[in-house]
Amino acid sequence: MSAVLTPPPAVPAGPFGGLVRAETHRFLARRFIRVLLLVALVGWAAALVVSLLAFRTPSPERLAEARATQQEQIELANEGREQCLADPARPADVAPEDWCGPPATADQFPLSLFLEPEPFSLSADGTTGAVSVAALTAALAFLVGGTFVGAEWSTRSMVALLFWETRRPRVMAAKLLVTAVASAALGLLMQALWLGLATLLQSVVGDGAALPTGFWPDLLGAQGRGVLLSVFAGLLGFGLTDLLRNTGAATGVAFVYVAIVENAVRALRPAWQPWLLTDNAAALVLPDGLTLSLDDGVDPQGVHQQVEYLLTSGQAAVFLALVTAAVVGGGVVLFSRRDLH
């Protein structure tokens, strides 16, 4: 008797939806994902406890004392400014505002400086906290995307999967879709946890101040862009790991880039800062974009000239989308062409 070798089917049996469901099940079965969600919840609880201990709503007496101290500091600062303006030695060719500074106001001496412990301020810390949460979530999303495909390579299940679904771009499309949705869900979860924490702190240990006009559009806009940043980071982690076939190698490359390459560029080529990933990530989430100080050459006296450059969130979104597409696209093309064994 002789064995007959039957080639694998050229067309998969199931629809694309079945492949997506299989990848979703594979993703949710990852122990790292479950641990990550648990850590997020534990971190939220720890942040709540620490914040309740660190902040306190001021009593009417403490508030009155703080306001009195604030007014004293403003008056002292303005007295010093008046003495500066009346000084006969003040240069006549320098504007008074430039030499002595503007009049002191309450904005320069926030009331929180005179309250110990200070209350939580949703108006002052809400958007700042959303930006910080977006940065943390982006790092976690990068690891999620990297470990998802990295586990496929380390366990060699990627090769086994191709016996069921032979069309490699179709396999990669399903994995990328699951990664993007999971990264967005992670971003939404983390921002929802922050919004809930900030709202709770404002009601329990807040300053009771009225929210400024446009606060909610700024906060929710920053949170929405933070979710978009999570998607970019998750896909970048996936694409880089797919190129290198190793999660540790991809994480190492990302660390070297952020810790060494970008700092070297800032020191040696400041004009290249608008093309750095972390600067674009910050510009994407910040409500007003990111203002960079760039080197504009040397004047005839040998002094370095600085020019301010506004990196807007729209520019950052386009740049990050192009970088993500290049990394992911390179991984897909290489996966479709290289031999797997």
More confident residue, 6 or 143: 143
Residue 7 has pLDDT above 60, yes or no: no
SS3 120: strand
The four Cα atoms 331, 333, 336, 338 give a dihedral, to 10 degrees, of -80
Segment 286-327, tens digit of pLDDT: 999 999 888 765 555 555 677 888 999 999 999 999 999 999
Strand stretches in the chain, DSSP E: 290-298, 304-311
Which contacts (CB < 8 Å, 24+ apart) does range 107-113 have?
108/74, 108/77, 109/70, 109/73, 109/74, 109/77, 111/63, 111/66, 111/67, 111/70, 112/207, 113/70
DSSP assignment letter at 119: P
Do residues 323 and 236 make contact, with C-beta atoms less than 8 angstroms apart? yes
Segment 229-242, tens digit of pLDDT: 999 999 999 999 98
Residue 146 has pLDDT above 80, yes or no: yes
Q: What is the mean pLDDT of the chain?
A: 84
Domains of the chain, by residue range, sit at: 22-55+121-267+322-337, 58-118
Half-sphere exposure for 220 (CA within 13 Å, toward CB) = 4
Residue 103 has pLDDT above 90, yes or no: no
Segment 11-60, tens digit of pLDDT: 544 677 778 888 888 888 888 888 888 888 898 899 889 988 888 888 77
Q: How much is the pLDDT for 294?
A: 82
Categorize the per-residue pLDDT at 1 as very low, low, confident or very high, splitting at 50, 70 and 90. Answer: very low
Residue % of the chain over a pLDDT of 90: 39
- Characterize 12-45 residue by residue with b for buried, 16 or more Cβ atoms within 10 angstroms of its Cβ, and e for exposed: eeeeeeebbebbeebbeeeeebeebeeebeeebe
